[in-house]
Amino acid sequence: MKKILILALALVLSGCGALTPVTPTAAPPPTAQVIIATVLVPVVATQPPTPVPTDTPIPPTPTPQVVVVTATSANTAAAPAATSSGPATATATLPSDAGGLSKAGVVLFSNLTRSGSYFNLRCPPQDITFGISTSNVSVTEVDLYYRMEDLTTQPPSISAWKNYGKMQGDKNGNYTLDVNTLQLSPDLRAPAKAWFDYEFVGITKTGDSVGNSGKISQQILYLKDCP
């Protein structure tokens, strides 16, 4: 009996030794990781940038200078002399009585102006613009009178006064008038060289004279032919 147990035990032990050894399970391969990297690629312009235009400064248009002579009854004003030669050189100083007096003895005119001291019959300039003001409420019209001092005679012959016409008023006591050599009386524009003398006369609405300015003589040179 004892032998039988030993034999059985031997068989069991031999069977256990014949068992196939267990092969360890291989670890799964590591999972690949995907890495996303952002790469900044500089963009190259296909066209050059449009240049910003630069404005070229435009030189200002020169404004023509106008010679204006201004005077009141108490003051005189000076301006450059007219372009001329010889003894007939125009001056620009108005007489002290340029403003004149009304019949009541009150100063009648102020702000006597003119745009030049020389004009010509056949060449520019042919115009001179005159201006004058009055605070006398009786004056509703101002007329410009003129005469010519012929410098081609010795002594100079002086014509009678001639009414050039009515000045343009602004209803505020200010009057202007453009005098053109072509509009002068034909017999008065005959001299080749002369002084153009002038004065202003204030008139009421009934046509009566209120008074006149001072006589402004030898201030404006007139030429018939081109210099």
CA distance 95 to 199: 12
Half-sphere exposure of 60 toward its Cβ, with a 13 Å CA cutoff? 3
Q: Residue written as tokens 């007096």?
A: 101
User: What φ, ψ does residue 146 adopt, rounded to 5°?
Assistant: -145, 165
Q: What is the pLDDT of residue 93?
A: 81
CA distance 163 to 221: 19
Cα–Cα distance list, 124 to 55, 223, 225 (Å): 38, 11, 11
CA distance 109 to 95: 13
Q: What is the pLDDT of residue 29?
A: 56
pLDDT above 70 for 165: yes
More confident residue, 2 or 149: 149
pLDDT above 50 for 71: no
More confident residue, 99 or 82: 99
Confidence of residue 82 (pLDDT cuts 50, 70, 90): very low
Q: What is the pLDDT of residue 22?
A: 47
Q: Which among 160, 158, 179, 157 is positioned nearest to 168, based on CA atoms?
A: 179
Q: Which domains does the chain have, with CATH numbers?
A: 101-223 (2.60.40.3760)
Q: Model pTM?
A: 0.62
Mean pLDDT of 26-54: 50
Mean pLDDT of 169-188: 96
More confident residue, 193 or 51: 193
